[in-house]
Amino acid sequence: MSRVYLDNAATTPLDPEVLKEMYKVMETQYGNPSSIHAHGREVRTLIERSRKTIANLLHTSPAEIFFTSGGTEADNTAIRCGIIDHGITHAITSRLEHHAVIHTLEAMEKAGTIKLSFVDTDNKGNINYNHLEELLQNNERSFVSLMHANNEIGTLTDIERVGDLCEQYNAIFHCDTVQTMGHYPHDLSKLKVHFLVCAAHKLHGPKGVGFLHVNHRIKIKPMIYGGSQERNMRGGTENVYGIVGLAKALEIAYTEMDDHQQHIQGLKTYMMDRLKNEIPGLHFNGETDPDKSLYTVLSVSFPEMDMADMLLFNLDIAGISASGGSACSSGTDIGSHVLTAIGANPSRPSVRFSFSKYNTKEDVDFAVNKIREICLAKV
């Protein structure tokens, strides 16, 4: 059976060039990078070369790049260490953030470490910047954690504006850029951010590796203690193959960024047009303006139907891999906290379709045709 993969916001296929780069290391470079002999030094060189590649692409210093196991560890490190090591007692986030952020901050509030404030957002997921400024004005020095693009609905946040506000009020700014790294350019010589996060598997790199950018203006202690790896900032033997793959994936992403953005935005627009024509009564969640929305993500709320909770299962049976989740209809339901926060109708099933450079118009046509069959049968 034919299958179409439209869940690239969850993870992306590994680029063959990345795999080739990783395989060379797996096959011949097996030394421990902490060892001082030749085998170890060769591998250490690979890590530092990868760090320099990433730093050059982001216009920052290699000393500000710390490799992690992925986005969740990087978020936790930035939040916990940024708050505790600087004596911060107030944090600001939104109800649309990834659970790696919200759950960490809520746990710290429950422990009595911080008071947590949520900035207002509208029904498309846009930050209320005036409310953000009020929260910054009316509290002691704050820790602000806001993502660049929402992973479920794709709405973009103006992180330059957030950075300016944080600088004005002496706040610490942590930004989860997991969904936008490799899809938009990030110039860290200009962006006023203290912590920035990446996960390789979101940009056709390997799973289990990412990095945390820590601006030189801020100092933190390690969250993971052990050896002296990552300049005493993260104990544990480095994931060498993953780090090499991450650097290669980001290098490819920056080289091909404009072409891929044009291609993927075209697919998203094409799918939106086809769905509007084929499925009466559907609704797109989040921003639809291309300048305000992540071009890889399309969130769709379909009309109410019998067995709405089976839509994603039926899509899978039909050969379409996507992500789903409707808004919570009660306090006991487990649904999408993002869709609930923007006031989505809980009786309408929602699906997130997300695209990559490997998708085609034929993929979209296949998916829309199957979706039409399922929806018309279930309405």
Look up the CATH number of the domain holding residue 216.
Answer: 3.40.640.10
- Domain C-terminal end among 190, 225, 252: 252
User: Which of 6-10, 275-279, 327-331 shows the lowest per-residue confidence on average (mean pLDDT)?
Assistant: 327-331
Cβ partners under 8 Å of residue 130, min gap 6: none
Residue type, 175: C
CATH of the domain at 324: 3.90.1150.10
Residues 37 and 172 in one domain: yes
User: Is 166 a residue of the active site?
Assistant: no
Residues 301 and 241 in one domain: no
Q: Residue 39 CA to chain centroid, in angstroms?
A: 35
pLDDT at residue 329, rounded to an integer: 39
Q: Is the pLDDT of residue 332 over 50?
A: no
Q: Is the pLDDT of residue 330 over 80?
A: no
Q: Is the pLDDT of residue 243 over 60?
A: yes
Asked if 134 and 109 count as a contact pair (C-beta separation under 8 A), the reply is no
Residues 319 and 181 in one domain: no
Asked if 21 and 244 count as a contact pair (C-beta separation under 8 A), the reply is yes
Confidence bin at 325 (pLDDT 50/70/90): low
| Domain range enclosing 300 | 4-12+257-378
Residues 62-71: tens digit of each pLDDT: 999 999 999 9
Residues 8 and 21 in one domain: no
Taken in order 123, 290, 166, 94, the sign of the CA dihedral is positive
Quote the tokens at residue 98.
Answer: 């990834």
Residues 210-232: tens digit of each pLDDT: 999 999 999 999 999 999 999 99
First to last CA, the chain: 25
pLDDT at residue 66, rounded to an integer: 98
Output the DSSP codes for 239-295. Answer: -HHHHHHHHHHHHHHHHHHHHHHHHHHHHHHHHHHHHHHHSTT-EEES--STTTB-T
By C-alpha distance, which of 70, 48, 20 is closest to 202? 70
pLDDT at residue 103, rounded to an integer: 97
Cβ partners under 8 Å of residue 18, min gap 6: 204, 205, 206, 245, 248, 249, 252
Give the number of domains in the chain. 2
Cα separation, 336 vs 328, whole angstroms: 7
- Domain C-terminal end among 223, 252, 281: 252
Three-state DSSP class for 194? coil
Residues 39-56: tens digit of each pLDDT: 999 999 999 999 999 999
Residues 284-311: tens digit of each pLDDT: 999 999 999 999 999 999 988 766 568 8
pLDDT at residue 99, rounded to an integer: 95
Strands 320-321 and 4-5, bridge-based pairing: parallel
Cα separation, 19 vs 16, whole angstroms: 5
Write the CA distances from 150 to 53, 275, 287, integer angstroms: 27, 22, 10
- The proportion of the chain whose per-residue pLDDT surpasses 90, expressed as a percent, equals 88
Secondary structure (H, E, C), 313-371: HHHHHCCEECEECCCCCCCCCCCCHHHHHCCCCCCCCEEEEECCCCCCHHHHHHHHHHH
Residues 133-156: tens digit of each pLDDT: 999 998 889 999 999 999 999 999
Which comes out higher in pLDDT, residue 326 or 340?
A: 340
Residues 98 and 225 in one domain: yes
Residues 247 and 262 in one domain: no
Quote the tokens at residue 218.
Answer: 């801020």
Residues 285 and 203 in one domain: no
- Domain C-terminal end among 237, 252, 267: 252
DSSP H or E segment with residue 65: strand 65-68
pLDDT at residue 304, rounded to an integer: 81
Cβ partners under 8 Å of residue 174, min gap 6: 75, 78, 79, 82, 143, 144, 145, 193, 194, 195, 196, 197
280 torsion bin: left (phi>0), alpha (psi -120 to 50), beta (else): beta
Q: Is the pLDDT of residue 264 over 50?
A: yes
Mean pLDDT score of the chain, rounded to an integer? Answer: 94
Phi, psi of 125 (to 5 degrees): 90, 10
pTM for the model stands at 0.95
Residues 337 and 266 in one domain: yes
Q: Is the pLDDT of residue 327 over 60?
A: no
Residues 164 and 284 in one domain: no
Residue type, 276: K
Residues 202 and 272 in one domain: no
Output the DSSP codes for 197-243. Answer: EEEGGGTTS-SS-EEEEE-TT-----SS-SSSHHHHTS-S---HHHH
Q: Is the pLDDT of residue 370 over 80?
A: yes
Confidence bin at 376 (pLDDT 50/70/90): confident
Residues 273 and 221 in one domain: no
pLDDT at residue 328, rounded to an integer: 46
**Which of 166, 198, 328, 375 is an active site residue?**
328
Phi, psi of 22 (to 5 degrees): -70, -40
Q: Is the pLDDT of residue 331 over 50?
A: no
Residues 297 and 220 in one domain: no
